[in-house]
Amino acid sequence: MGVMEQQVATGSPLIALLGNPNCGKTALFNRLTGARQKVANYAGVTIERKEGSFTSPAGRALRVLDLPGAYSLSAQTPDEAITRDVVAGLRNGEKAPDAIVCVVNATNLRLNLRLVLEIRRLGLPMVLTLNMVDVANKRGIEIDTARLAQELGMPVVETVAIQAGGETALLDALDRMSFDSPVQPKPLSAIDAVPVEQTQREVRRILEACVSYAHDTGNLSEKIDNVVLHPVIGPILLAALMFIIFQAVFSWAEVPMDLITGAVEGIGSAIAGAMPEGPLRSLVVDGIIAGVGGVLVFLPQILILFFFILILEDIGYLPRAAFLLDRMMGGVGLSGRAFIPLLSSFACAIPGVMAARTIQNPRDRLVTIMIAPLMTCSARLPVYALIIAAFIPEREVGVFNLQGLVLFVLYAMGIVSAMAVAWFMKRRSGGKQHPLLLELPSYHWPHLPTLALGLWERAKIFLTRVGTLILTLMVLLWFLSSFPGAPEGATQPPIYYSVAGMLGRALAFIFEPIGFGWQICIALVPGMAAREVAVGALGTVYALSASGDDVANSLAPLIAGSWPLATALSLLAWYVYAPQCIATLSVVRRETGSAKYAWMMAGYMFALAYAASFITYRVALALGGG
């Protein structure tokens, strides 16, 4: 939304979209607002606030707020608490919405109508949106929309949020509403005054009066789930799916990575040939191009990983995976609901930590937050890919790629370690398992525009980090690695005598027992800001350490010729457990409300990383990996 649009929209009526998870609420929000939306956090918390604006067919300017999904206003999670406080006008400095658009899944009214009845007791103007009516019609579910509107005492419209024009009926309904006399919501006690059992009886009565399932052909999703959720076949399919994803990360990305590598090397050689030798050329070639280019090459692998995660999320498989893993996770004191935050952490630990808000039990939520960073985030992927490409031969093992197998093992190590830490925390806290209550949405084909938008957003985030944080750190690292310069008669590369070299040699005293030389120690420091920076830092360090034509070579051959295998394996083990980036630790502090847990996380992960690297290094040396 442009600045002028925001100013015009500020005084416009505010419409809040509210509904259960998986009802298509966010798709409807995107359909209404298009690009005219902004994303921020609610004051004091890291829960996302997505607000946009649009103009109705009658020319009325409206603002719309996409509230976190909720099953009830009797809040059980932080997300539901935010939704409750917003619609009740209890957020500091925020007035209640002028109207509520309650979005329900037309194929699952039995679950969705409880929330509708609760909101109705607040007395705010409301519109009920029957979303996914196309799916309900295909199944033969008959809904008497006029009768439903009469029973609920509010307008009822039909929408198909994923189709162009699917929001037309809702826009017409909003144009018929009057916002001249704002209505104050009733106290939340109006909701609690009615027992849940009475609300459920009212839901059943309305369904009997307004909905017919006589011609329901059945849910295809249930038939698919007979296979997908089978106690034997289901886990095998899940394991096979995860394995295929990790194989694809290497196999599919090879061609685009080679193209990026060639382009980066070509640009570096051209600039090096065009500029006179001196500090400026060193900054551009050895600092910016060697550093930033070393990170940029891993964009294809990151996008392939996100491609699979977004598809699994869009088709409705992720809640099934949570269901399949519930028993296994229950053995370590977690519920299957923790699976989705942990899976989100494969992309980045920050959204994984934030997604733990959906877990009702406070102890389970805390444990999930504490182990989420052990999932292998996409920022680790450049480090893994670099070392695997340098030291693991590219050959087939049966039908599998050996490099993909190694990557799979590294991901598995993070998962197993997370489960072990969760089990230890369960033993210390004496927690017990809580039953999993989870809605399984219907399967549907992935929505390609949504998938493309998701991939573009991930690419933009990565490229923004490359162009801002990583670029800044590379320039700073080049400066620290280039000055004060080598004295006369120096026998080591100039970086050895620089500020960064001094710092690396000081840290090497701590890290030499696990096989890390001073060059690696230099890269570990900026890697605390963002893990993928470590690759760029290594590129800068080894570019400055090299001489002659070696500078133009790619980074993998340089480290392959500089490190023993034991050091490479030790560094892989380090990054399985490496302490989190500063941004993640900051989010942990905000989500838990205490810096204590952020320090605990950094401490236990450092201890695990050092111990794992020490054992790996010593065993590799004993087996002849030196």
Sign of CA dihedral 121, 126, 130, 131: negative
CB neighbour list of residue 88: distance below 8 Å, 6 or more residues apart: 73, 96, 122, 185, 187, 188
Q: In 210-294, at which residue ranges do the beta strands (DSSP E only) sit?
A: 211-212
pLDDT at residue 49 is higher than 80: no
Architecture of the domain delimited by 3-218: 3-Layer(aba) Sandwich (3.40)
Give the C-alpha separation, 474 to 592, whole Å.
Answer: 32
Mean pLDDT of 514-526: 85
pLDDT at residue 552 is higher than 50: no
pLDDT at residue 2 is higher than 70: no
Alpha-carbon distances, residue 277 vs 281, 287, 623 (angstroms): 6, 14, 45
Tokens of 540: 């800068």
Q: Which residue has the tokens 């570019």?
A: 543
Give the C-alpha separation, 21 to 336, whole Å.
Answer: 17
Q: Using pLDDT thresholds of 50, 70 and 90, give the confidence band for residue 551.
A: very low
Sign of CA dihedral 463, 464, 470, 475: positive
Give residue-wise pLDDT tens across range 435-488: 555 667 777 777 787 788 778 877 887 777 667 766 777 777 777 777 787 777
pLDDT at residue 148 is higher than 60: yes
The separation between the first and the last C-alpha atoms of the chain, rounded to the nearest angstrom, is: 58
Lowest mean pLDDT among 29-43, 304-318, 319-333, 486-500: 29-43
The amino acid at 625: G
**pLDDT of 6:** 40
Nearest residue to 457 (alpha-carbon basis) of 32, 165, 50, 101: 50
Tokens of 314: 């869009």
SS3 at position 525: coil
Give residue-wise pLDDT tens across range 237-280: 988 887 787 677 767 877 887 888 788 778 878 888 888 877 78
Q: Is the CB of residue 65 less than 8 Å from the CB of residue 99?
A: no
Mean pLDDT of 392-402: 77
Q: Using pLDDT thresholds of 50, 70 and 90, give the confidence band for residue 147.
A: very high
Tokens of 211: 């909905």
Give the C-alpha separation, 616 to 235, whole Å.
Answer: 30
- pLDDT above 90: percentage of residues in the chain: 17
Mean pLDDT of 352-364: 76
Tell me whether strands 211-212 and 142-143 are parallel, antiparallel or unpaired: antiparallel
Helix-helix angle 299-315:448-465, to 10 degrees: 150
Domain ranges in the chain are: 3-218
